[in-house]
Amino acid sequence: MAEIKLEERSFEGQKVIYLNATVPNEDLFIPFNMLSYLIKLPLHLFDKEMDPAVATGATYIKILHEHGGETDVEVCMPVDVEVPEGNGVFFKDAETVTGKFVTAYHQGPRDNLAELFGLANEWINDSGIKQGEGPVILSLPNNKHMVPESQLLTEIIFPVAE
Protein backbone atom coordinates (compact mmCIF):
# COMPACT_ATOMS: atom_id res chain seq x y z
CA MET A 1 0.00 0.00 0.00
CA ALA A 2 1.58 3.29 -1.10
CA GLU A 3 0.47 6.91 -1.04
CA ILE A 4 2.36 9.67 -2.84
CA LYS A 5 1.89 13.35 -1.95
CA LEU A 6 3.33 16.76 -2.77
CA GLU A 7 3.56 18.63 0.53
CA GLU A 8 5.25 21.38 2.48
CA ARG A 9 7.46 19.80 5.12
CA SER A 10 9.79 20.98 7.77
CA PHE A 11 12.33 18.60 9.18
CA GLU A 12 13.10 19.93 12.62
CA GLY A 13 16.76 20.00 13.32
CA GLN A 14 18.12 16.94 15.07
CA LYS A 15 21.59 15.98 16.07
CA VAL A 16 22.69 12.85 14.23
CA ILE A 17 25.49 10.38 14.07
CA TYR A 18 26.19 9.27 10.54
CA LEU A 19 28.51 7.37 8.27
CA ASN A 20 29.23 7.67 4.58
CA ALA A 21 29.16 4.61 2.34
CA THR A 22 29.13 3.62 -1.29
CA VAL A 23 26.68 0.78 -1.88
CA PRO A 24 25.74 -1.30 -4.92
CA ASN A 25 22.51 0.04 -6.44
CA GLU A 26 20.83 -3.35 -6.03
CA ASP A 27 21.36 -3.18 -2.24
CA LEU A 28 20.09 0.36 -1.73
CA PHE A 29 16.38 -0.41 -1.35
CA ILE A 30 16.75 -3.69 0.51
CA PRO A 31 16.97 -2.80 4.22
CA PHE A 32 18.42 -6.23 5.06
CA ASN A 33 21.33 -5.59 2.67
CA MET A 34 21.82 -2.15 4.26
CA LEU A 35 21.93 -3.70 7.74
CA SER A 36 25.73 -3.82 7.82
CA TYR A 37 25.73 -0.01 7.51
CA LEU A 38 22.71 0.64 9.75
CA ILE A 39 24.01 -1.50 12.63
CA LYS A 40 27.28 0.46 12.88
CA LEU A 41 25.50 3.46 14.38
CA PRO A 42 24.01 1.87 17.55
CA LEU A 43 27.22 -0.18 17.90
CA HIS A 44 29.14 3.10 17.92
CA LEU A 45 27.02 4.26 20.88
CA PHE A 46 27.89 1.05 22.74
CA ASP A 47 31.59 1.52 21.92
CA LYS A 48 31.46 5.02 23.38
CA GLU A 49 29.64 3.62 26.44
CA MET A 50 26.60 5.76 25.75
CA ASP A 51 23.08 4.63 26.48
CA PRO A 52 21.51 3.66 23.13
CA ALA A 53 18.29 5.19 24.44
CA VAL A 54 19.78 8.61 23.65
CA ALA A 55 18.84 7.91 20.04
CA THR A 56 15.35 9.13 19.14
CA GLY A 57 13.57 9.51 15.83
CA ALA A 58 13.78 7.66 12.55
CA THR A 59 16.97 6.22 11.13
CA TYR A 60 17.27 7.44 7.55
CA ILE A 61 19.46 7.16 4.49
CA LYS A 62 20.33 10.18 2.33
CA ILE A 63 20.84 9.13 -1.27
CA LEU A 64 23.57 11.49 -2.45
CA HIS A 65 24.97 10.48 -5.84
CA GLU A 66 24.63 7.54 -8.22
CA HIS A 67 27.61 6.55 -10.37
CA GLY A 68 28.34 3.43 -12.40
CA GLY A 69 26.12 0.93 -10.59
CA GLU A 70 26.86 2.30 -7.11
CA THR A 71 25.36 5.04 -4.96
CA ASP A 72 26.97 7.27 -2.34
CA VAL A 73 24.82 7.46 0.77
CA GLU A 74 24.85 8.99 4.23
CA VAL A 75 23.30 6.69 6.85
CA CYS A 76 21.97 8.77 9.78
CA MET A 77 20.58 8.06 13.24
CA PRO A 78 19.19 10.90 15.40
CA VAL A 79 20.67 11.32 18.88
CA ASP A 80 19.80 13.61 21.79
CA VAL A 81 23.35 14.45 22.88
CA GLU A 82 26.69 15.11 21.21
CA VAL A 83 28.48 11.83 20.52
CA PRO A 84 32.25 11.43 20.15
CA GLU A 85 33.31 10.56 16.60
CA GLY A 86 35.44 7.62 15.51
CA ASN A 87 35.72 4.53 13.30
CA GLY A 88 34.05 6.24 10.35
CA VAL A 89 31.09 7.51 12.41
CA PHE A 90 30.65 11.28 12.58
CA PHE A 91 28.47 13.69 14.59
CA LYS A 92 26.46 16.49 12.99
CA ASP A 93 24.60 19.18 14.89
CA ALA A 94 20.96 19.99 14.20
CA GLU A 95 19.94 21.19 10.73
CA THR A 96 16.38 22.26 9.92
CA VAL A 97 15.16 21.82 6.34
CA THR A 98 11.94 23.39 5.07
CA GLY A 99 10.39 23.30 1.62
CA LYS A 100 8.29 21.33 -0.82
CA PHE A 101 8.81 17.60 -1.06
CA VAL A 102 7.19 14.66 -2.78
CA THR A 103 6.81 11.93 -0.21
CA ALA A 104 6.00 8.30 -0.98
CA TYR A 105 4.48 6.68 2.10
CA HIS A 106 4.33 2.91 2.48
CA GLN A 107 3.02 0.70 5.26
CA GLY A 108 3.84 -2.98 5.17
CA PRO A 109 6.75 -5.24 4.23
CA ARG A 110 9.92 -3.55 3.01
CA ASP A 111 10.79 -6.24 0.51
CA ASN A 112 10.28 -4.08 -2.59
CA LEU A 113 11.30 -0.51 -1.85
CA ALA A 114 12.85 -0.20 -5.32
CA GLU A 115 9.30 -0.51 -6.70
CA LEU A 116 8.12 2.26 -4.35
CA PHE A 117 11.04 4.44 -5.49
CA GLY A 118 10.09 3.77 -9.12
CA LEU A 119 6.40 4.59 -8.50
CA ALA A 120 7.37 7.87 -6.85
CA ASN A 121 9.70 8.80 -9.74
CA GLU A 122 6.93 7.98 -12.22
CA TRP A 123 4.45 10.09 -10.21
CA ILE A 124 6.91 13.02 -10.22
CA ASN A 125 7.49 12.74 -13.98
CA ASP A 126 3.76 12.39 -14.78
CA SER A 127 2.86 15.42 -12.64
CA GLY A 128 5.45 17.68 -14.30
CA ILE A 129 7.17 18.42 -11.01
CA LYS A 130 10.89 19.10 -11.21
CA GLN A 131 13.02 17.31 -8.66
CA GLY A 132 15.09 19.73 -6.62
CA GLU A 133 18.71 19.73 -5.56
CA GLY A 134 19.67 17.81 -2.49
CA PRO A 135 19.48 14.23 -1.40
CA VAL A 136 16.55 11.85 -1.63
CA ILE A 137 15.85 10.54 1.87
CA LEU A 138 14.81 6.97 2.66
CA SER A 139 13.27 7.13 6.15
CA LEU A 140 12.67 3.99 8.23
CA PRO A 141 10.64 5.23 11.24
CA ASN A 142 10.22 1.87 12.94
CA ASN A 143 12.04 -1.41 13.35
CA LYS A 144 10.83 -4.76 12.04
CA HIS A 145 11.83 -6.36 15.34
CA MET A 146 9.52 -4.02 17.27
CA VAL A 147 6.32 -3.99 15.18
CA PRO A 148 4.55 -6.53 12.97
CA GLU A 149 5.68 -6.49 9.34
CA SER A 150 2.24 -5.22 8.27
CA GLN A 151 2.82 -2.04 10.35
CA LEU A 152 6.33 -1.15 9.12
CA LEU A 153 6.45 2.44 7.91
CA THR A 154 8.69 3.73 5.13
CA GLU A 155 8.98 7.18 3.57
CA ILE A 156 10.93 8.11 0.45
CA ILE A 157 11.28 11.89 0.36
CA PHE A 158 12.24 13.78 -2.83
CA PRO A 159 13.13 17.50 -2.77
CA VAL A 160 11.13 19.61 -5.24
CA ALA A 161 12.50 22.58 -7.21
CA GLU A 162 10.79 25.83 -6.27
For 46-85, the pLDDT digits (tens) are 888 877 656 667 788 888 888 999 999 998 888 888 888 9
Arithmetic mean of pLDDT, 4-22? 84
Q: Which residues, at least 6 apart from 9, have a Cβ–Cβ distance to it below 8 Å? A: 98, 99, 100, 101, 103, 157
- Which DSSP state fits 131? B
Q: Tell me the domain boundaries of the chain.
A: 2-159
* Residue 79 pLDDT: 85
* pLDDT (0 to 100) of residue 54: 64
Query: Of the spans 4-13, 22-31, 64-73, which averages the highest pLDDT?
Result: 64-73
CA pair distance 162, 2, nearest whole angstrom: 25
Give pLDDT, residue 43.
85
pTM (two decimals):
0.77
What is the percentage of the chain residues whose pLDDT exceeds 70? 92
pLDDT at position 70 is 93
Kindly report, residue by residue over 98-128, the tens digit of the pLDDT. Answer: 788 999 998 888 877 888 888 888 999 999 9
The angle formed by the CA atoms of residues 87, 93 and 98, to the nearest 5 degrees, is 130
The CA distance from 98 to 41, in Å, is: 26
2-159 has CATH 3.20.80.10 classification: yes
